[in-house]
Amino acid sequence: MLAEPEIIARIQERGLRVTRPRRQIVRAVLSQTGPFSAEELLVRLHGNGIAAGRATVFRTLDLLVELGVLDRVHHPSGLHRYVLAGLDHGHYVVCSRCGAVADFNGCNVDDLIAAVVAQTGFRIDGHWLELFGLCAVCQNDTAANCSAAAAG
Amino acid sequence: MLAEPEIIARIQERGLRVTRPRRQIVRAVLSQTGPFSAEELLVRLHGNGIAAGRATVFRTLDLLVELGVLDRVHHPSGLHRYVLAGLDHGHYVVCSRCGAVADFNGCNVDDLIAAVVAQTGFRIDGHWLELFGLCAVCQNDTAANCSAAAAG
DNA sequence: CTATATGCAAATTCTTTGCAAATCG
DNA sequence: CGATTTGCAAAGAATTTGCATATAG
Q: What residues in chain A have their Cβ under 8 A from chain B's Cβ atoms?
A: 72, 74, 76, 78, 80, 93, 95-96, 102-109, 111-113, 115-116, 119-136, 139
Looking at residue B48, its pLDDT comes to: 93
Enclosing domain of residue A19? 1-87
pLDDT digit string, tens, across residues A103-145? 765 556 677 777 778 878 877 766 666 676 777 777 776 555 5
Cβ–Cβ pairs < 8 A, chains A and B: 124
DSSP state letter for B36 = B
**Whether residues A71 and A96 fall in one domain:** no
Q: Confidence band (pLDDT; 50, 70, 90) for A88?
A: very low
**Whether residues B99 and B135 fall in one domain:** yes
Calpha distance B135→B143 (Å, rounded): 12
Among A58, A87, A116, identify where a domain stops.
A87
pLDDT digit string, tens, across residues B64-94? 988 989 877 766 566 778 888 765 445 666 5
The set of residues with CB closer than 7 Å to nucleic strand C is: A 16-17, 19, 21-22, 51-56, 59-60, 78; B 12, 17-20, 37-39, 54-55, 58-59, 62, 79-80
More confident residue, B125 or B17: B17
Q: Confidence band (pLDDT; 50, 70, 90) for B149?
A: very low
**Whether residues A80 and A93 fall in one domain:** no
More confident residue, B117 or B145: B117
Exposed/middle/buried for residue B75 (C-beta within 10 Å: 0-12, 13-18, 19+): middle
**Whether residues B71 and B127 fall in one domain:** no
Find the closest chain B residue to A113 by CA distance. Answer: B131
**Whether residues B8 and B22 fall in one domain:** yes
pLDDT digit string, tens, across residues A58-67? 999 999 988 9
Among B57, B87, B117, identify where a domain stops.
B87
Q: Confidence band (pLDDT; 50, 70, 90) for B60?
A: very high
pTM above 0.75, yes or no: no
End-to-end CA distance of chain B: 35
Find the closest chain B residue to A102 by CA distance. Answer: B120
CATH number at residue B23: 1.10.10.10
Calpha distance A96→A85 (Å, rounded): 21
**Whether residues A56 and A105 fall in one domain:** no
Looking at residue B86, its pLDDT comes to: 66
The string of DSSP codes covering B111-141 is HHHHHHHHHH--EEEEEEEEEEEE-HHHHHH
More confident residue, B1 or B115: B115
**Whether residues A36 and A75 fall in one domain:** yes
Calpha distance B65→B71 (Å, rounded): 6
Protein CA at A19 to nucleotide C1' at D23, angstroms: 8
**Whether residues A14 and A76 fall in one domain:** yes
Domain count, chain B: 2
pLDDT digit string, tens, across residues A26-59? 999 999 877 889 999 999 999 999 999 999 999 9
Among A32, A56, A87, identify where a domain stops.
A87
CATH number at residue B113: 3.30.1490.190
Looking at residue B151, its pLDDT comes to: 34
Find the closest chain A residue to B129 by CA distance. Answer: A129
pLDDT digit string, tens, across residues B5-31? 999 999 999 999 999 999 999 999 999
Q: For chain C, which bases have at least one atom within 7 A of a protein Cβ?
A: 4-10, 14-18, 23-25
Calpha distance A132→B123 (Å, rounded): 8
